[in-house]
Structure 1
Amino acid sequence: MKKLKICQKKPYCNRRKVEQQQVSKGVFSAMMNNEELLTVESQKEDNKSAEEEELSLFTGKGNVQIDVHTARGLDCIDCHTQRDIMGDGNLYSKQHQAVEIRCETCHGNDSTYPMISKVTELDDAVIRLSKHYKGKPNSVGDWMAVSKRKKRMTNVKVQNGKMVTIGKRSGRVYNIPLLRNKQIHFIPQHQSRLECTACHSQSIVECQSCHASMKLGQVELKTSEKTPIKIQQPYLMIGPRGKVAPMFAQPERHFSMLDEKGNPILALGSIGQHRGKYQKWHFTNPDTSSGSNLAYSLNPHSTGTKVRSCESCHLSPETLGLGKGDLKIGANNTGKNDSLVPLNRLDEKTQASVFDPQAKVSIRGEVLAGSHQLKARPFNQKEIIRILRVGNCIPCHDRYGDRIYQDIKKSYAFASTLEHRQLREQILNSRQIQP
C-alpha cells in the first residue's frame, strides 16, 4: 500500500507538498487500513429526498429553485468556513477572492477524491472549533477535507469510510456524493473549461430594472414602489478563474420625462442632435445609452442535481451574452458571416447603439460590458464560434453521453465526409416518412 504524505504542521496545514493526485490514489485504504473500503459506496445519497423545490418569493416572473444543499437542511456555515465569513487576516479587493471553498472541496472531481489531511495534534484548531458544534467534536486521527487554500475544514471529514458533512448547528450527518465514484461527466471540454455552477445553477435572481418618471414643474422624482424581480436561467461568461461561470447581468434602466402637459419631451445628444423622446428611455450606463454595462460572475446558490439542457447554451444567443435577437450563422465556421439582429430596436432608432440593451458582447466578440473582477470577461469571438458550432450537432445528437462529444475534432472531421452526409439524409428522410 502506498503511503501518503500527510502534513503535520499546526494549527493549520500548509499542504504544498501534498498533491491531490497522491491523495486520490488510495484515499480510503490509507485512512482506514482496509483495501476493501475502496469499493465502499461512500457516495450514497442521503435518505431524505433532495428534490428541488420551487418557491415563489418575489414579485415578477419565474420561481426560485431552492438549492439542493439548503433543501437537505444545510446552513450557510456548514459549507462556508469561519475564514470565508469572518476573514482570514488578509485584505481582498473583491469578495469572491476571500472564499476558500470549492465544489471540489467536498465532492472531488471526476479523476480524484477530495483532498484530505490527518489531525495529529491535540491543540489543532479543528478540534477546538468543533467543540462549539453540536455533536461529537473532532479528535486526533480524524481525516478532514482540505480547502482550496490548503486549510482543514472543521466539519467535512471521513467517517466510517465515507466522506460526510456534519451540521454545525444540528449535528446531523450528511453523506457526500463523490464524483469519481459516479462517473457522470463525460465531455472532456466541460471538465476542463467549466465551473460546476455553469451547468448545475438552476436559476438566478435579476432585477427587472428601474423605471423613473419625471414631470416638469414637479419637485419629486417619481419611482415605482416595488421593484419586480425576474427569475431566469443564468447567462454565462468567463469567470475570474478562467472557466465558464454564471453571469450576473445588470439590466437596462428606463426613464420617462414629460412636460407640464404630460407630453414626452425631446431627448438631445451632447451636440444638440435629436435622439428621440424621453419616454421609456432605455439605458445601461451613466451616459444613458446602451452598449457599455456591467457583467460579473457569481455562484447564484441555486445548485441542483438536474442540469441545464445542451441547447440552452449551444443554441442560445442570450446565454452567450449576445442579447435577444435573430441569430444567423454564415456558410463557413469562421464567424465572419455570422450576424445577430436585436429584437429590441429602440437603440437603433435613437442611434444610441446597434446592439440589444442586454448585450454584453457583439457577435464579433467585441466587449460591450465591463467587469470589476480581474480576468472576468464575456466570451470572445473564438469561444462564441466554438460554442455555437456544437449546436449544429444537437438536433441529432441530443444526449449528453453521446460518443461524438468524446473527441469533437474527430467528429467534425467525419461530419464533412460524404458518408456522414448520406447518413444524415437517410435519417431525415425516415423522419419525414413517419406519420
Structure 2
Amino acid sequence: MQGTCGQGACHPVIGARIHSSLMTTAVGLVGSSRPAFGEGATEQPMGALWADPRPSPADAYTRRLCGGCHLGTRRANRDDAIVTAGSGCSACHLASAAGHPVTVAQPEDRACAGCHSRSGRVSLGYAGWAERTDGTPCEDPLPWADGRTFCAQPADVHHAAGLDCVDCHTHNALMGSGRPARRQADEVEIRCQACHGASWPAAPFEPAEDAFLADRLPRKGITLDGPVRRGVRGTPLWNLRAVGDGWVLPRKADGAPFPVPATPEDAAHQQPGHERLSCQACHTPLIPTCAECHVRFDPAGEQWDFGPAAVVAGRWVESGDGFASAPPTLAVNGADRIVPAAPGMILTVDASAAGGQVTRRRWFGSFDPHTTQRQARRCEGCHQDPVALGLGAGALSWRDGEWVFTPAHPDPAAPGAGRDRWVTWAQTEPGRSLKAGVRSLDRAERDRVLTVGRCLACHRDGAAEPYRRWPEPLVRRDAPCVPMW
C-alpha cells in the first residue's frame, strides 16, 4: 500500500496506520483458533502465519479456511466470498460499477459484506439476511457469490432507515489508529449512547486532536463549529450534529439528515434490576447460531492454502448441525454488562491426523449481531427462556413449586441437559468464553432471572407496579407463589 495509495503525495498517514488495523493483522482471529485446538495463545498477525513454513495444526486450519479475508491478500488469492473485490485499499474503496473501476471515499456496504458475511455474519443481519442450513423454510432466498443462500429476516432498524455501515464506524476503528489492537473491542468506538444518550459529553472540535479529519473535512466543505461528540477512544463523530435541543446524523454518502432520538427516560428504561443491561441485551432479537461444529483433518484430500497461494496436500473438513438465526443467550462481559451471545464453539476438533490432538470445547462468544429492532424483547423472552439463560433450547415449566427444564436436544452424556447448552441446570460456576472477561450467567443470576419469570405468570406487564418497586414485593408475596432463592 505504501507504493500505491499510501505513497507520499497521496495518503501516507493512512497508509502507515492501516497496518495496525485488525482488517490487516487479523490478530484476534489468529489467536482464537489456537486455544480451540489445545495450542498456546499467540499474538501473531495473519502475515506471519502465511510465512510460516511449518504451521501448527491450528495455524494451518486458520490459514486455509480463514486466510482469504485479509487486506494483504492479492486479488487472485482471495476467499471466494470476496473474489470480486480488490485488495488493500481497493477492498473497501472500489465501487461496484460497470467498465473501469471507480474509487470512492465512502465504502459501500457491499464491500463490508464480502468478509463480514462470515463468522458473526454482521453484514447479513444488518441488511436483513440470515444463513440458514437447519431445515427452516427460507423466505425470499438470496444466492451469494460463494454458493451460499441467505434467507430474509427483519433488517436492523438502522439499515431500514437508510444508514450505511460507515455512518456509525469511525475512520480510526476501520483503518487503524496506529495503536496495536488485539480484539475488535479494542477498535470499535461507537456506542448506542454516543447517538442516543442524552448526557453523552460533547465539546468543540480541535484540529490538533484528529489530523485526518482536520485535513479531510474542509475538502468536503464541512466545518465543525458546534459541539462534537466522540467515540469511546476519542475519535470525533463529525457526522453527528447538534440541532436545537437534539441531534441529527447526516448520512456520510450524501448528507441526508437523520434525526437521532434520545433514549426515553421511561419506566422501561429505568426498571429496577436492569441496571446492568446493555442496549443490545433487549433490542437484539436474533443472532446467528451454529449449535455444534466438528473439525477434522483428511490427509487424503487437498485444499487451497492462502499462505503459498497454492493447492496443498491434506484438507480441513468442517461439519455441523446447521446454521440458524435465533434469539441470543445472555452473557456477562468484562465490564459486568449483560450482552447477547451465541455458541462461539460447541466444538470437537480432531487434529490427530495432522499431528495435533482431539479437543472438545463448550464456549460461547458475545458480539453485537447488528439486528437491532426498536421493539425490545418481551419480558418472557429472558425471564422464562432457557436459551437466554444458557441452558439451550427446550421448555421451562413450573411444577410442584420449582422450575423444571426439558431440553429440546438432550445430551446422552449429560442427563437433563441439552447438547446446545452453555451451562447445565445445576451448574454453579459460569460457562466459559473464548473472549477475556466474558462468561455465562452464574447460578445466582439465573435464579434471580427466574424469580421474575415466576411473577410474570400473574403480573404480565413488565411495567406493572411490582416491578417498579422490585425487590420489595418479594417480601410480601404469598407463600405458594415463588420460592425465595
Tell me if both proteins adopt one fold, taking TM over 0.5 as the criterion: yes
Letter in 2 for 1:187: Q
2:254 is the counterpart of 1:175: no
Letter in 1 for 2:223: N
Letter in 2 for 1:75: D
Q: Secondary structure at the match of 1:249?
A: strand
In the alignment, which residue of structure 1 is the partner of 2:456?
Answer: 394
In the alignment, which residue of structure 1 is the partner of 2:189?
Answer: 100
User: Aligned partners of 1:181, 1:98: CA distance in 2, in Å?
Assistant: 30
Letter in 1 for 2:278: E
1:203/1:233 contact within 8 Å kept: yes
Q: How does 1:294-373 map to 2 (within 5 A)?
A: 294-325=363-394, 327=396, 340-348=405-413, 355-367=417-429, 369-373=431-435
* CA 132–74 in structure 1, closer or farther in 2 if over 3 Å, else same: farther
User: Aligned partners of 2:236, 2:358: CA distance in 1, in Å?
Assistant: 48
* CA 287–145 in structure 1, closer or farther in 2 if over 3 Å, else same: same
1:64 to partner: Cα distance: 3.1
1:200/1:307 contact within 8 Å kept: yes
User: Aligned partners of 1:252, 1:402: CA distance in 2, in Å?
Assistant: 39
1:153 to partner: Cα distance: 1.4
1:54 to partner: Cα distance: 5.3
The answer to which of 383-392 and 164-173 deviates more is: 164-173
Q: How does 1:245-256 map to 2 (within 5 A)?
A: 245-250=339-344, 252=346
Q: Secondary structure at the match of 1:392?
A: helix
Q: How does 1:3-14 map to 2 (within 5 A)?
A: none
* CA 180–86 in structure 1, closer or farther in 2 if over 3 Å, else same: same
1:100/1:149 contact within 8 Å kept: yes
1:249 to partner: Cα distance: 0.9
1:184 to partner: Cα distance: 4.9
User: Aligned partners of 2:390, 2:209: CA distance in 1, in Å?
Assistant: 51
Identity score, percent? 25
Letter in 1 for 2:376: V
1:57/1:64 contact within 8 Å kept: no
1:384 to partner: Cα distance: 0.5
* CA 186–235 in structure 1, closer or farther in 2 if over 3 Å, else same: same
* CA 137–122 in structure 1, closer or farther in 2 if over 3 Å, else same: farther
Q: How does 1:116-265 map to 2 (within 5 A)?
A: 116-119=202-205, 125=211, 126-131=213-218, 133=220, 136-139=221-224, 141-180=225-264, 184-190=268-274, 192-207=275-290, 209-210=292-293, 228-250=322-344, 252=346
1:345 to partner: Cα distance: 3.6
In the alignment, which residue of structure 1 is the partner of 2:168?
Answer: 79
1:172-196 CA-to-partner distances (Å, cap 9, x unmatched) read 1111011146775241322x11000
1:213 to partner: Cα distance: 9.9
1:18-41 CA-to-partner distances (Å, cap 9, x unmatched) read xxxxxxxxxxxxxxxxxxxxxxxx
* CA 346–83 in structure 1, closer or farther in 2 if over 3 Å, else same: same
1:113 to partner: Cα distance: 2.7
In the alignment, which residue of structure 1 is the partner of 2:48?
Answer: none
In the alignment, which residue of structure 2 is the partner of 1:3?
Answer: none
1:117/1:152 contact within 8 Å kept: no
1:123 to partner: Cα distance: 8.8
User: Aligned partners of 2:343, 2:291: CA distance in 1, in Å?
Assistant: 11
Q: Secondary structure at the match of 2:462?
A: coil
User: Aligned partners of 1:119, 1:127: CA distance in 2, in Å?
Assistant: 9
- The structure whose Rg is larger is 1
User: Aligned partners of 2:396, 2:208: CA distance in 1, in Å?
Assistant: 63
Tell me the TM-score normalized by structure 1: 0.63
* CA 178–397 in structure 1, closer or farther in 2 if over 3 Å, else same: same
User: Aligned partners of 1:381, 1:225: CA distance in 2, in Å?
Assistant: 32
User: Aligned partners of 2:365, 2:421: CA distance in 1, in Å?
Assistant: 13
1:197/1:299 contact within 8 Å kept: yes
1:246 to partner: Cα distance: 0.4
1:365/1:384 contact within 8 Å kept: no
User: Aligned partners of 1:171, 1:406: CA distance in 2, in Å?
Assistant: 42
1:343 to partner: Cα distance: 4.1
1:116-154 CA-to-partner distances (Å, cap 9, x unmatched) read 112355996444333455xx5123x31111222344212
* CA 121–359 in structure 1, closer or farther in 2 if over 3 Å, else same: closer
User: Aligned partners of 1:54, 1:341: CA distance in 2, in Å?
Assistant: 32
Q: Secondary structure at the match of 1:188?
A: coil
User: Aligned partners of 2:344, 2:443: CA distance in 1, in Å?
Assistant: 22
User: Aligned partners of 1:386, 1:183: CA distance in 2, in Å?
Assistant: 20
Tell me the TM-score normalized by structure 2: 0.57
Letter in 2 for 1:115: P
In the alignment, which residue of structure 2 is the partner of 1:276?
Answer: none
* CA 226–130 in structure 1, closer or farther in 2 if over 3 Å, else same: farther
User: Aligned partners of 2:246, 2:315: CA distance in 1, in Å?
Assistant: 60
- Structure 1 regions of 5+ residues with no counterpart? 1-51, 256-285, 422-435
Q: What is the RMSD of the two structures over their aligned residues, measured on CA atoms? A: 3.9
The answer to which of 159-168 and 98-107 deviates more is: 159-168
1:353 to partner: Cα distance: 7.3
* CA 330–287 in structure 1, closer or farther in 2 if over 3 Å, else same: farther
1:227 to partner: Cα distance: 8.7
Q: Secondary structure at the match of 1:248?
A: strand
2:466 is the counterpart of 1:381: no
- Structure 2 regions of 5+ residues with no counterpart? 1-125, 139-151, 303-313, 350-356
User: Aligned partners of 2:395, 2:206: CA distance in 1, in Å?
Assistant: 62
User: Aligned partners of 1:226, 1:296: CA distance in 2, in Å?
Assistant: 17
User: Aligned partners of 2:457, 2:330: CA distance in 1, in Å?
Assistant: 22
1:85-128 CA-to-partner distances (Å, cap 9, x unmatched) read 122222232222222221101100xxx43321123559964443
